[in-house]
Amino acid sequence: MIFAANFKMNHTRASTKAYLDALNQKLASKRSEDRVFIFPPSTALDHYDGDFTIGAQNAYPEKNGAFTGEIGLDQLDEFGIKTILIGHSERRDILGEDQALIAQKFSYFKSKGFEIIYCIGEALEVREEGEDTVMVHLLSQFKGIDLAYEKLIIAYEPIWAIGTGRSAKVEEIASTHSTLKKHFDRPLLYGGSVKPANIKEITAIEGVDGVLVGSASLEVESFTEMIFC
Ligand SMILES: O=C(CO)COP(=O)(O)O
């Protein structure tokens, strides 16, 4: 199983370090086949030792240059970061990233050999149109994305389940994952209100290879409870 923590705009450099120290101790007894990813805010990127992978929540698809407010390859290289999250709905919807920019980021970081966690997801009004419409929407978010990339992990995160406390139902996750998996042979994570109370039933679903967790990953006790569920 893959357990990925997306801190979003939470935690500081100091609190990330304290979190990772505590996480590291707990991970001493982790199942060797499980993988743990942490995506801290960019100000907390650093070299950290431990049985986990640190990734960037975002970066601009250039080495360096005149891109005010962004970080690029040079800033990630400084800390040996080789993992990136791309396509999160908050970046698509709040920061206005379109599919062309997302695909550009994908191609750039693929060319640099990054492991990419690529997010897709639909809004509630799309879900309400039914599974066929959901699929058309989700597949449109693969435009320009090489689904055969060997360092690709896909994360399905229905927007209506993110930060709402209301995860998608087991049947919805099972059916969406099984249809999505006809289109690629890569690990597929579920994200959206994953928490200790529902981790067992979500990770038991066929076609779920792991979880991408926001709110419930912010406390190290809660995140490790899920890893050891
Ligand atoms: O967006 C998410 C992870 O990327 C999910 O967030 P929540 O776990 O807070 O719903």
- Set 11, 88, 122, 177: catalytic member: 88
Residue 151, annotated as binding a ligand: no
Residue 29, annotated as binding a ligand: no
Is the shortest distance between the CB of 163 and ligand 1 below 6 Å? Answer: yes
Confidence band for 166, pLDDT divided at 50, 70 and 90:
confident
C-beta of residue 57 within 8 angstroms of C-beta of residue 24? no
Predicted ipTM? 0.99
Architecture of the domain defined by 2-227: Alpha-Beta Barrel (3.20)
Q: What is the pTM of this model?
A: 0.97
Q: How far apart are CA 11 and CA 229, in angstroms?
A: 24
β-strands 83-86, 53-54: how paired? unpaired
| 202 CA distance to ligand 1 middle (Å) | 14
Q: What is the pLDDT of residues 74-121, one digit of tens each?
A: 999 999 999 999 999 999 999 999 999 999 999 999 999 999 999 999
pLDDT of res. 66? 98
- Asked if the model's pLDDT at residue 167 lies above 90, the reply is no
Q: How far apart are CA 114 and CA 228, in angstroms?
A: 27
Give me the residue spans of the domains in the chain: 2-227
- Set 97, 122, 157, 177: catalytic member: 157
Is the shortest distance between the CB of 141 and ligand 1 below 6 Å? Answer: no
Other Cβ atoms within 10 Å of 170 Cβ, number: 14
Mean of per-residue pLDDT scores for the chain: 97
C-beta of residue 88 within 8 angstroms of C-beta of residue 55? no
Q: How far apart are CA 142 and CA 177, in angstroms?
A: 15
Is the shortest distance between the CB of 167 and ligand 1 below 6 Å? Answer: no
Q: How far apart are CA 135 and CA 200, in angstroms?
A: 26
Is the shortest distance between the CB of 213 and ligand 1 below 6 Å? Answer: yes
pLDDT of res. 165? 86
Of 134, 145, 137, give the one whose Cα is nearest residue 168. 134
Q: Is 157 a catalytic residue?
A: yes
Other Cβ atoms within 10 Å of 47 Cβ, number: 9
* Total length of the chain: 229
C-beta of residue 140 within 8 angstroms of C-beta of residue 114? no
